Each structure stands twice: as C-alpha cells, then as structure tokens.
Amino acid sequence: MIEAVGLTKIYGKTVAVDELSFTVNPGIVTGFLGPNGAGKSTTMRMILGLDTPSRGRALIDGVPYASIPRPLTKIGSLLDANWIHPNRTAKAHLRWMAASNGIPVKRVTEVLDTVGLSAVADKAAGKYSLGMKQRLGIAGALLGDPEILLFDEPVNGLDPEGIHWIRSFMKQLAANGKTVLVSSHLLSEMSLTADHLVVIGRGRLISNSSTADFIANSTTASVRVRSPQLPQLREILVGAGLAVTDVPDGLSITAAPIEQIGELAGNAGITLHELSGQAGSLEDAFIKLTGDSVEYNAHDGLGPVSPTEFTSAQDASPTAGAAPAPYRGN
Amino acid sequence: MSLLNVERIKLFSTRSPYWCLLLVVVFGLGLSAILSLVEGGANAGVSTSQAGINFAISVIMVMAALAITTEYRFGTIRNSFLAVPKRGKVLAAKTAVVAVIALVVTLITSFAAYYLMVAIHGPDAPANAMDINNADEWRYIWGPAVIVMVAAVIAVSVGSLIRQSAGAIAALLIWPTLESLFPLFGSFGRRVAPWLPFNAGSKFYTAGFSDGQGPPALDGRYPSPNWWQGGLVFVGTAAVLYVVALILLKKRDA
C-alpha cells in the first residue's frame, strides 16, 4: 500500500504539490490522473524518495522509500524511459540494477524475455526506439518481482501497438495481484486500465473514487435532435420543462429520457431527422473537473482552452506531438 | 561489497573509461620511450620517466568526473538512487571504484615507464641517471599513483557537486592552471602557491628529490611543504570536497 499524507512540494514560489493525501490500495490498478503540469511526476518522485517533500510524507507499507531494504524487490518503477546510458547495453543496464539489490542474474534474462527485448539485449540502449526504451524501463521495474509498481505516463509517445501492449500488460499485472499506480493525462486511457482514480489538478486532490463512480458522477448524458421544424420543437420541449440548448443545426437536451423527447415530438406531429443519445465524453468530464486547474491555459480570445486539443489529438493519433524525446542537453 | 560490483559494472559497461585508461598507459609509456631516446637519452632520469604524470592526473580526473556527471546527464542517477536510496553508499562505492582503478593503472604505468626507460635509454644518458638510492627516489615512482588516486576522489566530488560534465571537467582542468598563476600575484601569491592543493600534491613525490632533470623548483625563498605535508594538503582538500558533495547529494533533489 502506498500512502501520501499531506504531501507538499514547493519550488520557490510555485506550489507544485499541495497537501495531497491519498492511498493506493493493494491488488488493483490505480490511475493517477491530471493535466500536464498537475504535479503527478513530482508526487511520484516524492513517493520514491527522489525528491524531498517540503511538507508531509509518503509511505510504502508504512515506511519511507529510503528505509526499504533492497527496494527494487518491493516496489518497481518506471518514471522516465530515457533514464538509460546510451552506450550501455540493455543487459548491462539490468545487470547493475540486479547486482545492487541482490537479485539473481537470471532474472535479467527473464525480464528481457517478458518484455520481448531478448533479441536486442546486447545492443546499446541509445539505439533503441522510444517503445523499446519503454519496454526496457518496464523490464527494470519488474526485475525484483516487486508487489508494487509505479509507472509515470507509460503510453506517452508510444505507437498504437506499444500502447496496446502496455494496456494489456497493466491488466495482466493487476490480474496477478500486483498493486499498480499509473499516471496519465488521458482519462480515456485510464478508463481502460484503472479500477480506481486519483485525480489531481494544480497539485491538489480533485477526486478520489472508483473509475466507474468517477465516470458516472462526472459525465452527463444528453439527447441530440435535428428537425426541419426546429423552432416549434424547441417551444414544445421548453414547455415540457426540459433543459434545452442550441447546438449547430439541432438541439441538445440534457437530463431527459430519449423516449420522452420522441413522444413529445410525435404527439405534436413534428418530423425528426435525428434523435440520438449522446454519451458524455470522458475527456469533457475530465476537462470540466480540472479545467480551472490547468497550469498552462491558452488564451486566444475564444475563452479558456482546456487541454482538449492535445488530449484528444494525442488520443486519436498517439504518436502526434510526442516523438521520441531527444536526450536532454547538459 | 555488492555496491562496488555495481559501480564496476556501470563504469566498464560504457566506453569512455577504457579510452581514458588506455590514454594514461599509452601516454605514460610513450613519453618515457621518447625521452629515453631523443638526444641520445641525455634527458633520461627517474623524474623524466614519470613525465606523463600531469597528463594522467588530468585524464583520470576527467574519467572520474564523468563517472558521476554522465549519470546526471542521462538521468541514470535516479535509477541509482531508486536501487540504493542511501545515497552516501552510492557515492562511496563510486568513489572507491574509480580511485582504486586510478591507483592501480597509474602504479602499473609508473613502474612500467621507469623500467622501460631503464631498458631503452640512449647512450648519452647521465651516469647512474636511473639509479634509485633512497626512499625519496622510490617515492617518485610510486607516489604519483597515490596523487592520481586522490585526484580521482576530488574529481568525483566536484562532479557530484556540479552535476554537469562540461562544467565539472572545465573546473577540474582549470584548477591546476590557476594554481600555477599564483606566483604572479606578488609575494603573497608566491608564499601561498606551494601550499595550494595541486602544487602541494605534487610535492608528495617531488619533495626531497632532484636528479637535475625534473622541472625547476618553486621560488625557494618561501617555505614549501615536504612530501607528507604536501600529501596531507591534497588529501585534506579531497576530504573536504567529498564531505560537501555528500551533504549536498543527500539534500538536493535527484
């Protein structure tokens, strides 16, 4: 179990993580969700003892990370797939990690096999594609056969095949009874893999609930109608006390059964060209919740632009805007 | 013990240490060979057999600094701290491995360079130039390796403090040059110069020794450390830097 208690990180005047408290329960996949810059990575780094919290604490099974003997056998993590030396082979990379935690060398071969990198194990990791680096990172996380796993944005920048692989991999980990905390800025991604969601924005906790509850509570279903007799229809619907909004060439009615709308139109003899139920989009729900807490809000005269554009763009084509990250310069 | 193995794997699974160590050996032996032969061996002597030593100090310091700065450059330092959250142990193991390698390689190179000159020096070499008669002369052979080892500790510490390859290497290479400028700063500079870390460190093997072939002594009017005083100044410098590096390593976010 991972436990964050009043976790706070302040850089100068910026509060990156603000009094964050949550627990990650064993045996399930917990999604750690928030827009870019919400403080997800910082929180994970504090959990793993890389960054010192300004206030509060993070505990793993009751103790701070630094107090865990042979930590890789307790908690495996992948925060950044680029954390590898480009001239070191995948095998050597895993071999030193194994040696540091008294993990038998044969585990290196095993995990390389698990992630499908056996054939390139003796190649310098710098020559790997981002997807391969991601697999190597996951191999490193699995090395000590830990019961807890932490992944930071594992699908970022992956091609569809890589995304599919990670997704099924997470589910498999949960099926094997592992505790998994995985961060993402994509709600749609999390809805596929996570059982529980911890949602943050601007470093603060926004929601902490099961994925099903989160989606049910934060999405609104609506009904969309198109008709050549739109003004009359609107009048009837408003007359019936329904919440009606105008949308391009049609109307949108929220919080009303689709049957009721059809019957109202039928009784009045109004022709309908479309009568369709619209499931509330997860991304919309997410934006509604975190919209106020997006750190880098663009303003271009069209009102606040939430991360719709890039979340949906990345969702549609996962490789867009996320080419393999270049090495960070020194 | 296992952490020493970890650092050994890390160091020798990348290319630069091999190049650095090869350079130390090739340059050390190469200079010794050249000075054995030019002008019929007129320059031969115990001190000239060790002519590659300043080069070795520079190259080993580059290797030692890179051992830690590349970890920051590529982010692997975080993997290191995730695997071993007690950061002091990581620094200690890394320093120990680099220092021991520096000691062993330089020691072998120094002795090889000496015996190479004994074997091949030209006919015009001064009589008994290669004889070793006392402890001071022996120290000229084994001493440089000790200084290189301590320099490696300084370099790992500076690398850990600066966390950036170019910056750390520049600082380490400019440092001895700055020390050599001190005698220009009037009598104060001349008084202080012999006691500055790298100047003092070189006294560890040069003090009390003269075969007439080595570099000219510093200004004789001001007291200069003897061999153990010089060694202590250098070791003390390394110890202070190491402790500061250790404190900051624990304090700073990785």
How close is the nearest chain B Cα to the Cα of A179, in Å? 18
Which pair of tokens denotes residue A221?
A: 């279903």
Is A100 in contact with B6 (Cβ distance < 8 A)?
yes
Residue among A79, A78, A58, A61 at smallest CA distance from A69: A61
Q: What is the pLDDT of residues B43-89, one digit of tens each?
A: 999 999 999 999 999 999 999 999 999 999 999 999 999 999 999 99
User: What is the per-residue pLDDT for A279?
Assistant: 67
Chain A residues inside the 8 Å CB shell of B93: none
> Residue with structure tokens 């609104």?
A220
pLDDT bucket at B185, cuts 50 / 70 / 90: confident
User: What is the per-residue pLDDT for B219?
Assistant: 52
Q: How far is CA A39 from the centre of its chain?
A: 13
**Other CB atoms within 10 Å distance of the CB of residue B228:** 12
- Mean pLDDT to the nearest integer, B200-207: 92
Whether the predicted pLDDT of B254 surpasses 60: yes
For A85, the closest chain B residue by CA position comes to: B74
Tell me the C-alpha distance between B143 and B50, whole Å.
Answer: 10
Q: What is the pLDDT of residues B110-166, one digit of tens each?
A: 999 999 999 999 899 888 889 998 888 999 999 999 999 999 999 999 999 999 999
Q: What is the pLDDT of residues B141-151, one digit of tens each?
A: 999 999 999 99
Q: Which residues of B touch chain A, with CB atoms under 8 Å apart? A: 2-3, 5-6, 9-10, 13-15, 69-76, 78-86, 164-166, 251, 253-254
For B80, the closest chain A residue by CA position comes to: A97
Burial class (CB in 10 A: 0-12, 13-18, 19+), A75: buried
How close is the nearest chain B Cα to the Cα of A21, in Å? 21
User: What is the per-residue pLDDT for A325?
Assistant: 40
> Residue with structure tokens 């003092």?
B200
Tell me the C-alpha distance between A186 and A20, whole Å.
Answer: 20
Length of chain A: 330
Q: How far is CA B15 from the centre of its chain?
A: 20
| A84: contact with B, CB 8 A cutoff | yes
Chain B residues inside the 8 Å CB shell of A100: 2-3, 6, 80, 83-84
pLDDT bucket at B216, cuts 50 / 70 / 90: low
User: What is the per-residue pLDDT for B156?
Assistant: 98
User: What is the per-residue pLDDT for A296?
Assistant: 59
**Other CB atoms within 10 Å distance of the CB of residue B88:** 12
Which residue out of A80, A83, A100 would a mutagenesis test of the B interface target, given it has the greatest number of B Cβ atoms within 10 Å?
A100
Number of H helices, E strands in chain B: 11, 0
Is B78 in contact with A87 (Cβ distance < 8 A)?
no
Is B76 in contact with A72 (Cβ distance < 8 A)?
no
Number of H helices, E strands in chain A: 11, 15
| A48: contact with B, CB 8 A cutoff | yes
Is B82 in contact with A93 (Cβ distance < 8 A)?
no
Option in B2, B14, B78 nearest A83 (CB) = B78
Q: Return per-residue pLDDT of chain A as tens, 330 residues.
A: 999 999 999 999 999 999 999 999 988 999 999 988 899 999 999 999 999 999 999 999 999 999 999 999 999 999 999 999 999 999 999 999 999 999 999 999 999 999 999 999 999 999 999 999 999 999 999 999 999 999 999 988 788 888 888 888 888 888 888 999 999 988 888 888 899 999 998 899 989 999 888 877 776 678 889 999 888 988 888 988 888 888 888 888 887 788 888 999 999 899 999 988 776 666 666 777 776 656 555 655 444 444 433 343 333 333 333 334 444 434
Query: What is the biggest distance separating any 2 CA atoms in chain A, rounded to whole angstroms?
Result: 78
- The 3-state DSSP class for residue B253 equals coil
Option in B3, B15, B74 nearest A83 (CB) = B74
Option in A67, A99, A330 nearest B5 (CB) = A99
Is B85 in contact with A65 (Cβ distance < 8 A)?
yes
Burial class (CB in 10 A: 0-12, 13-18, 19+), A134: buried
Tell me the C-alpha distance between A179 and A2, whole Å.
Answer: 9
- The 3-state DSSP class for residue A244 equals strand
User: What is the per-residue pLDDT for A220?
Assistant: 67
B160: region left, alpha or beta (phi > 0 left; psi from -120 to 50 alpha): alpha
Q: For all residues of chain B together, what is the average pLDDT?
A: 93
Q: What is the pLDDT of residues B6-36, one digit of tens each?
A: 999 999 999 999 999 999 999 999 999 999 9
For B8, the closest chain A residue by CA position comes to: A96
CB pairs under 8 A between A and B: 88
- The 3-state DSSP class for residue B5 equals helix
C-alpha distance from residue A289 to each of A58, A152, A210, B131, B197 (Å): 25, 21, 16, 84, 60
